[in-house]
């Protein structure tokens, strides 16, 4: 159940305790993980770490006590969460999370791998304006049209391959796949699925969202702990550079078999083709 008035007071008084997360948003980079976390934080029974802890990939040597200390205090019945999108592509992460708690619920926000790659490139470009063009990074050899799968922007989108690694440690039913596209077109619907998966009452509904035409995606009417409307920051919803259509087509063809495999593995058609 929720934290009533007494519960809120207990939290204000620094009561409640820090717990290891029962649910983790493990991926994917540029899929819509920040949006999902901010939307979920509207729920009174969700407590989440704001920053990405990167525990299971970069900080594992620091140990579980260090990780747990990063967590917010929670009351009985509240869920502790964190998000680090790079976990999905980290070889060691599944075994490490499983050894923390076999029952940890995992959430992966996925998005069309081609758009995701362009978004990834756009983010890098905003930090390093002098990087090579998207086209030149995509191909090992432009003439043969061989795609450079070692480039992380391409590599991350081969979801089926990464998922196989997770399925060695977790049953598929313990992983929820959220559509990044549906989070834009129907945020309340996707959030409904997430709340069900987490065993939460469906408190977040379409009443919580409004569509921001300038940004091109949904925003919250009231953010967590505030009465003001809240959209994600300036770094979200960047305009993507124009990519040569022929290159986009080559990438669509490249990803298609992997996407089909992913649809089969998850039992969901994400409609990317």
Is 34 annotated in a binding site? The answer is: yes
Question: DSSP string covering 24-56, please?
Answer: EEEE-TTSSHHHHHHHHTTSTTEEE-SS---TT
Tokens of 19: 């717990």
Distance spanning both ends of the chain, measured CA to CA = 41
Catalytic (active site) residue 30: yes
Is 119 annotated in a binding site? The answer is: yes
What are the start-end ranges of the E strands in the chain? 17-18, 23-27, 46-48, 73-74, 79-83, 105-110, 139-141, 146-147, 175-179, 209-212, 217-220
Is 239 annotated in a binding site? The answer is: yes
Tokens of 50: 């704001």
* Alpha-carbon span 28 to 25, nearest angstrom: 8
Is 31 annotated in a binding site? The answer is: yes
Angle (CA) 165-167-172 rounded to 5° is 145
* Alpha-carbon span 195 to 202, nearest angstrom: 6
State the catalytic residue, choosing from 30, 128, 222, 234: 30
Tokens of 135: 């086209």
Whether omega for the bond prior to residue 41 falls within 30 degrees of 0, making it cis, is: no
Is 238 annotated in a binding site? The answer is: yes
* Alpha-carbon span 29 to 152, nearest angstrom: 10
Is 111 annotated in a binding site? The answer is: yes
Is 237 annotated in a binding site? The answer is: yes
Is 236 annotated in a binding site? The answer is: yes
* Alpha-carbon span 5 to 247, nearest angstrom: 56
> So which residues are the catalytic ones?
30
Known binding residues are: 30-34, 111, 119, 236-240
Known binding residues for 3'-phosphoadenylyl sulfate are: 30-34, 111, 119, 236-240
């Amino acid at each position: 159940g929720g934290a009533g008035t007494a519960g809120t007071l207990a939290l204000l008084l620094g009561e409640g305790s820090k717990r290891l997360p029962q649910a983790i948003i493990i991926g994917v980079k540029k899929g819509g993980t920040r949006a999902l976390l901010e939307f979920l934080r509207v729920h009174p029974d969700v407590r989440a770490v704001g920053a990405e802890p990167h525990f299971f990939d970069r900080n594992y040597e620091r140990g579980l006590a260090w990780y747990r200390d990063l967590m917010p205090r929670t009351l009985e019945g509240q869920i502790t969460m964190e998000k680090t999108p790079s976990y999905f592509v980290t070889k060691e992460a599944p075994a490490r999370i499983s050894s923390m708690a076999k029952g940890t619920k995992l959430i992966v926000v996925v998005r069309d791998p081609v758009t995701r790659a362009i978004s990834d490139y756009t983010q890098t470009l905003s930090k390093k304006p002098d990087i090579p063009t998207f086209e030149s990074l995509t191909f090992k050899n432009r003439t043969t049209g061989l795609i450079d799968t070692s480039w992380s922007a391409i590599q991350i989108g081969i979801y089926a391959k990464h998922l196989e690694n997770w399925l060695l440690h977790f049953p598929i039913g313990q992983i929820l796949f959220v559509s990044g596209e549906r989070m834009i077109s129907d945020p309340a619907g996707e959030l409904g699925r997430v709340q069900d998966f987490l065993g939460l009452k469906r408190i977040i509904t379409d009443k919580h969202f409004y569509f921001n035409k300038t940004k091109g995606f949904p925003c919250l009417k009231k953010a967590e702990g505030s009465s003001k409307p809240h959209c994600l920051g300036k770094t979200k919803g960047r305009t993507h550079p124009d990519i040569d259509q022929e290159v986009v087509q080559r990438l669509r063809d490249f990803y298609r078999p992997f996407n089909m495999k992913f649809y089969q593995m998850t039992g969901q058609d994400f409609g990317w083709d």
